[in-house]
Structure 1
Amino acid sequence: MTIPIKQITLHKLNMRLKNPFRTSFGTLQDKEFFIIEVMDDDGNRGFGESVAFTSPWYTEETVKTNQHMIEDFLIPILQKNAIYHPDEVSELFSSIRKNNMAKSTVEGAIWDLYAKRKNIPLAQALGGTKSEIDVGISIGIQPTTKDLLRTIDRRLKEGYKRIKLKIKPGHDIDVLREVRAHFPNLPIMADANSAYTLEDVEHLKQLDELDLMMIEQPLGHDDIVDHAKLQAELKTPICLDESINSFADARKAVQLSSCKVINLKIGRVGGLTEAKLIHDYCLNHEVAVWCGGMLEAGVGRAHNIALTTLAGFTLPGDTAGSSNYWEQDIIQPEVTVENGIIKVPHAPGIGYEVDEAILNKFTVDVKTFHF
């Protein structure tokens, strides 16, 4: 039975983060993104969220390129083709190279719609089995080490299971040593966002004394080979993020021993279907996976929760509560964390209702496409 799409609405939003988010690339506070709404003949609505940033600092995609791809290529493909299952969407989009975040935005809405039509939670539709998930939190670069220590202490009191810290040259080993001295048993991840090269091997070897869970993406954003060389020199597990944009990338990284962990971001790999394939491969090859965050609002956060219910997600993800990022989120109820745990919703689809009033409050543009 087909998924009868009646119309697609593209909502462009602009929301201000509660706190500036600093990485080795720069600072972000105002986030532009899209909420895509797919409606069927019965009035059921599925929602997806774009995760590209305004500037191409994380991948080559941006808010504007997402809009171009969704409006001019992806929606027209859906208008010309019948869909029976969300897994078919990635194949339909395969003629379009890359543009994974644009593809994921659309595919995610169709997955949500599919689950609602089946009257089952999205987690169940994906094959997930967990009723709750463990979560950690990512902390951007703070003005001072004292500020960082205070922030970590506050987050630990809120119950988060692990802390991810952003590092860059000149702001790395000494800071991590200070954190480890204050929190000797804290599960710590260090995220480098491709800030280093193989010339830094000896420097990065100092990480091994700090008992880190992992160092994330220390080398080039598109590299697999050099990471294999670095991993051979380090005891600290390397986690790949930006390098993994597809199942093929994940397979090659595992075969080359480029990493021991993979950060799975739905938008980066092109959607839930591809994320499931990567998850299954890693599970079979004993490579740990966890779900990374992209400063999502409620819809994207809900998709992350559903994905994390799959068996291979054994490490806490970055899916913190809504209130950590937004004064108001666009869903009801908002995502909440208690003692480092999010309870997986049981309602059909993503399990949260999009609040129309709040959605409209932050919407700066709307376009509707009829089928």
Structure 2
Amino acid sequence: MIGKIIKATLNVIEMPLKRPFSTHLQSLHSRKGILLELQTEDGVIGLGEAVAFESPWYTEETVETEIHALQQWLLPIIIDQTFDQPIDAYIKMSNVRRNYMSKAAIDMALWDIYAKVKQMNLADLIGSKKKEMYVGAVLATSSFAMMKNRAEELYRDGYTRFKVKIDGKETFEQIKELKRNYPNIAFMVDANGAFTLDDMDLLKEIDKEGFLLIEQPFAVDDLVEHSLLQRTISTPVCLDESITSIQELKTAHALGAIKALNVKVGRVGGLTPALEMIEYCREHGIEVWCGGMIEFGVSRAVNVALASREEFDIPGDIVASDVYWEHDVVTDPVKVKDGKVHRYTKAGIGVELDYDFVKTVTIKTITM
């Protein structure tokens, strides 16, 4: 049993990235985020993270809208309430439409509490079997020279899969060259909605390259267009931004628009709906893999637990924390050795906040 939630603390933080993260939509040089702490009347503290960006280039949510949704609508539903399991709180939050990243922060924190009360690591609690897993990395740079340098660094560190941002013919030619240089690395491409049906000739060329998948080729709402593309090419179409709920997943599947799902706990509203989506994908033969949001260590710990489930065959975007940060916000940041990440073993999500460091990067604290 989770127990009664008596207090919530939001720490809004900002940290510089070690190197820019660039797509055709946005270049990030620093990252804002929200670390959430929920406390029970028994003194158990659960950690969550709201992962929206500062501007609405990825989804409609932003750091500021998360603060508003959490403070004004979602946390008042949770505080002073008693819950048995995380799903109980998730059902209560369903009266607030969407705001999935805000809901995810609460859901993560409740799972952390739930696992701590049961004295289990989150991975064990959700039925994960793997003790370690191979991981991949994203190549999102502003130049081809930087991309080649970054690829070589990641290759030396043992990463087994690269995801490369693509937005047209020029980047496609660059990726082909890069792919030839690393024949033992699995490649996938991510368009972040850069293409339309007018690009079908180029997409057919991309199809011939034998990528693991092509992620989000069309815009968020273009499910019909994605289905038309999937009928035309053999490369699995993977959806990311298009899928934020189980209902959207079922619609995409019914249309034939999806063969793979990028599961991001923050994007879909938390671990509770993510587990439901994974079960649906398993039943319907849709591949799943774990994506990333340039997160801090709280959300990344949840990703490690999720990606250790047996359904996840494709190496996830779970790079070492020091790829993005000089210092992460948790006491045991994600580490990669020989291309693998080991599961956490401590009760809960497996990490705690490094409070002394968090104080140095906090720009606002809200207590409820």
* TM superposition score normalised by structure 2: 0.97
Shift in Å, 1:2: 5.0
Contact 1:133 1:309 in 2 (8 A): yes
| 2:197 paired residue number | 198
Q: Is the 8 A contact 1:176 1:210 kept in 2?
A: no
Structure 2 residue aligned with 1:92: 92
**Letter of the 2:319 counterpart:** A
Partner of 1:59: 59
Instruction: Report SS of the residue matched to 2:3.
Output: coil
For residues 53 and 312 of structure 1, the distance between their equivalents in structure 2, rounded to whole angstroms, comes to 28
Shift of 1:192: 0.3
1:110-160: CA deviation from partner (whole Å, max 9, x where unpaired): 1111111111101122222221122100110342x2332222122111011
Matched residues in 1 for 2:331 and 2:88: separation? 30
Report how far residue 184 of structure 1 moved.
2.8
What residue number does 1:148 align with?
A: 147
Task: Tell me if the contact between 2:20 and 2:141 (Cα under 8 Å) persists in the aligned partners.
Answer: no
Q: Which secondary structure state, in structure 2, belongs to the residue aligned with residue 95 of structure 1? A: coil
What's the TM-score once normalised by structure 1's chain length? 0.96
**Greater displacement, 78-87 / 330-339:** 78-87
For 2:228, the equivalent position in structure 1 comes to: 229
Equivalent position of 1:12 in the other structure: 12
In 2, distance between residues paired with 1:263 and 1:125?
A: 22
Q: Secondary structure at the match of 1:274?
A: helix
Q: Which moved more, 1:11-20 or 1:163-172?
A: 163-172
Question: 1 CA distance for matches of 2:183 and 2:340?
Answer: 22
Provide the residue aligned with 1:114 in structure 2.
114
In the aligned structure 1, how far is the partner of 2:270 from the partner of 2:40?
20
Identity rate, percent: 39
Partner of 1:297: 296
Instruction: Give the secondary structure class of the aligned counterpart of 1:33.
Output: strand
Q: Which moved more, 1:72-81 or 1:295-304?
A: 72-81
SS at match of 1:317: coil
Q: Per-residue displacement from partner, 1:310-359 (whole Å, max 9, x unpaired)?
A: 22111111011100000000111221001111110110011112111011
Of 28-37 and 171-180, the range deviating more from structure 2 = 171-180
The answer (yes or no) to whether the contact 1:121–1:348 under 8 Å persists in 2 is yes
Distance 1:77 1:323 in 2: 36
Give the Cα–Cα distance (whole angstroms) in 2 for the partners of residues 170 and 211 of structure 1.
16
Distance 1:193 1:344 in 2: 29
Please report how far the alpha carbon of residue 284 of structure 1 lies from its aligned counterpart in structure 2 after TM superposition.
Answer: 1.4
SS where residue 360 of structure 1 aligns? helix
Q: Which residue of 2 aligns with 1:40?
A: 40
In the alignment, residue 25 of structure 1 is paired with which amino acid? L
Deviation at 1:236, TM superposition (A): 1.5
Tell whether the 8 Å contact from 2:2 to 2:113 is kept in structure 1 after alignment.
no
Secondary structure of 1:173's counterpart equals helix
Is the 1:180–1:210 contact (alpha carbons within 8 Å) kept by the matching residues of 2?
Answer: no
Q: Is residue 2:79 matched to residue 1:75?
A: no
C-alpha contact (below 8 Å) 2:8/2:37 kept by paired residues: yes
Amino acid at match of 2:50: S
- Counterpart of 1:309? 308
Q: Deviations over 1:247-297 (max 9, x none)?
A: 111122222221211101111111101000000111111211001000001
CA distance in 2 between partners of 1:305 and 1:279 (Å): 15
Partner Cα distance (2:288, 2:220) in 1: 18
In the TM superposition, what whole-angstrom CA distance separates every residue of 1:43-77 from its partner, at most 9, and x where no partner exists? 22110011100000000000000000000000111
Residue 50 of structure 1 aligns with an amino acid whose one-letter code is: A
Which digits, 9 at most, give the CA deviation of each residue in 1:182-205, with x for residues without a partner? Answer: 223320010100011011111111
| Cα shift at 1:180 | 2.2
Q: Distance in 2 between matches of 1:142 and 1:272?
A: 33
Equivalent AA in structure 2 for residue 147 of structure 1:
M
CA distance in 2, matches of 1:131, 1:312: 14
Work out the CA distance in 1 between the residues paired with 2:2 and 2:121.
Answer: 19
Rounded Cα–Cα distance in structure 2 between residues aligned with 1:164 and 1:66: 28
CA distance in 2, matches of 1:128, 1:23: 33
Match for residue 172 of structure 1?
Answer: 171
Q: CA deviation at 1:80?
A: 5.6
Contact 1:173 1:206 in 2 (8 A): no
The aligned length equals 368
Looking at structure 2, the residues matched to 55 and 231 of structure 1 have their Cα atoms a distance apart, in angstroms, of 31
For 2:288, the aligned partner's letter is: V
Q: How much does 1:170 deviate?
A: 4.6
Contact 2:6/2:79 (8 A) holds in 1 = no
Letter in 2 for 1:85: Q
Go from structure 1 to structure 2 and tell me whether the alpha carbon gap of 1:103 and 1:192 turns closer, same or farther (over 3 Å shift): same
1:135 paired residue number: 135
